[in-house]
Structure 1
Amino acid sequence: MPRTVALFSLGGAPGVTCAAMALSAVWPGGTGAVLVEADASGGDVATWRRLQPDPGLTGLAAAARHGGASADLAAHTQILPGGLSVCHAPVTADRAEGAVRLLSQNPGVLASPSGPAVVLDLGRLTPGAAASALATWADEALLLVADDLAQLRRAKEASEALTRSLPRLRTVVVGGSGGVREIENALGPGVWGRLPADERSASFLRGETNPRKPERRPLLKAAARLAGDLARGADPAPAPGAGAPAPAPEWTGVHA
């Protein structure tokens, strides 16, 4: 089972943070997953969820640099209502970039054979950025691309170089319609499928609304299928109605 999954984009705004939160919240298994917001441009979770500055990524990065028991990831997380553990980034780029750079030099603090899986929100990835090392180090890497002609073209042109450094790369298209084969024809192999554009789920993940059964929302259901595929190390799972039922996840942090 993969222990670390990195999510990132190449540009645009495909909703990497919301996707990472959804994936963390529905990760299968008893230990679940923790979200580490390692976006060097600055994080959103603290603002969305009105979190205190500490504990968070800055403390984890400093502890990783010095080593010792204080580098334990769990000591640098905050628990959202519902149980999702989050290690959030500073909101400003000047502080976040330094923390991400330190973490990229000491990524071992994220590894835990018996603890929760780690979902890394790397935001927008640029060549030579510190977060690139985290994407390479992760067990799985997910490139999120908006269903937009310019973004799809950018992803296709970058795919060869990305695959060389990220052999387990999967592409996930956000929004739009059409099947996996159609996306593969446009982008090439390594496509998982689509995450639906679902503003109600995004609003819920940001802490703005509290629907009765969020696990039934399209984004959370699709994230559960993706999490199941990643946890099993399997090929992309068929969408419901395509010959196989979606796996039933254990909801480990999906309630606001």
Structure 2
Amino acid sequence: MPMIVAFSLSGAPGVTTLALALAAAWPEPVPSVLVEADTSGGDLAAWRRMPTSPGVAELAATARTDETATAAAAPVLGCAQVLAGGQRVCLAPATADRAAGAVDLVSHHPEVLRAPGAVGVVDAGRLAPRSPAAHLAAAADVALLVVADDLAQLKRAQAALPALRTGVEKLGLVVTGARTSDAQVQEALGMPVLQRIPTDPRSAAFLRGESGLARPFRRPLLRSARRLADELASTAPQASAVEVSRG
């Protein structure tokens, strides 16, 4: 099944929130697992008051094993915990000094992130050249560049896209916020907007475990995440995603 990697280039456009929403919205009956693979450290353990073990540190310990055996064993599922509501999550250590080495090792052995019969949604944090996030994006079935709808982030994305298109085979653009239209973003970047994610503090608080929602998928953020999940699932039903955008 496919591996979806979400990343940003700068700022805090909401990659972790989007990745968690996307994993939760993945269409049934295919299960999903969210993997925190941000070298600066994970957020979910603090948000949900959970231990970070088992998690990415344990997953990294499997990365030196035989590739074929590792893929068959689906270690990512064995290193996952389950949130209230049933979502599987593989948590990163909270601090960069503990997360960076584990994420780097996993990024060089991305086969450990794949599990037969399940989709992996990877929060890769901020991408820089030759970083673990860059390795993960290159290995993804679809890599999602998450950009906030502000001038500084759009300019950075515009400058980075030529290199990204060279290193990432299947690239999709997700824009958070609503300051400009999709047509304006496409004109500026030369790339279509795959999905727009609206600002929705109530849904974000729900995903962090801070509050409840009676009908979460009626909320704007989660409704948009479901549309994105449906689009990705329809183009990559058997881990052979068609290209979302290519330069």
TM-score normalised over the length of structure 2:
0.90
Q: Residues 118-172 of structure 1, C-alpha deviation per residue, up to 9 Å, x if partnerless? A: 0000011111212211110010000011111011111011111111111311111
Task: Show the counterpart of 2:191.
Answer: 189
Task: Show the counterpart of 1:141.
Answer: 143
Report which stretch shifted further, 192-201 or 33-42.
192-201
**Distance apart, 1:232 and its partner CA:** 1.1
Task: Show the counterpart of 1:164.
Answer: 166
C-alpha contact 2:175 2:196 (8 A) present in aligned 1: yes
**Distance apart, 1:53 and its partner CA:** 2.4
**Distance apart, 1:187 and its partner CA:** 1.5
Equivalent position to 1:107, from 86, 110, 121? 110
RMSD: 1.8
Report which stretch shifted further, 125-134 or 10-19.
125-134
Task: Show the counterpart of 2:25.
Answer: 26
Q: Residues 44-75 of structure 1, C-alpha deviation per residue, up to 9 Å, x if partnerless? A: 00100111121100001112224567762111
C-alpha contact 2:74 2:113 (8 A) present in aligned 1: no
1:204 and 2:206 equivalent? yes
**Distance apart, 1:177 and its partner CA:** 4.5
Note the residue ranges of structure 1 that are not aligned, 5 or more in a row: 237-256
CA distance, structure 2, for counterparts of residue 131 and residue 168 of structure 1: 15
Task: Show the counterpart of 2:178.
Answer: 176
CA distance, structure 2, for counterparts of residue 72 and residue 32 of structure 1: 15
C-alpha contact 1:179 1:193 (8 A) present in aligned 2: no
SS of structure 1 residue aligned to 2:111: helix
| 1:205 partner amino acid | L
C-alpha contact 1:27 1:227 (8 A) present in aligned 2: yes
Q: How does 1:76-155 map to 2 (within 5 A)?
A: 76-112=79-115, 114-155=116-157
SS of structure 1 residue aligned to 2:172: strand
| 1:28 partner amino acid | P
SS of structure 2 residue aligned to 1:202: helix
**Distance apart, 1:216 and its partner CA:** 0.6
CA distance, structure 2, for counterparts of residue 170 and residue 3 of structure 1: 14
| 2:173 partner amino acid | T
Q: Residues 190-240 of structure 1, C-alpha deviation per residue, up to 9 Å, x if partnerless? A: 42131001111110000000011111110000000001111111798xxxx
Task: Show the counterpart of 1:58.
Answer: 57
SS of structure 2 residue aligned to 1:119: strand
SS of structure 2 residue aligned to 1:194: strand
Task: Show the counterpart of 1:5.
Answer: 4
TM-score normalised over the length of structure 1:
0.87
Instruction: Give the % identical residues.
Output: 50
C-alpha contact 1:104 1:130 (8 A) present in aligned 2: yes
Q: Residues 100-134 of structure 1, C-alpha deviation per residue, up to 9 Å, x if partnerless? A: 1110121111223x321000000111112122111
CA distance, structure 2, for counterparts of residue 164 and residue 105 of structure 1: 19
Note the residue ranges of structure 2 that are not aligned, 5 or more in a row: 236-241
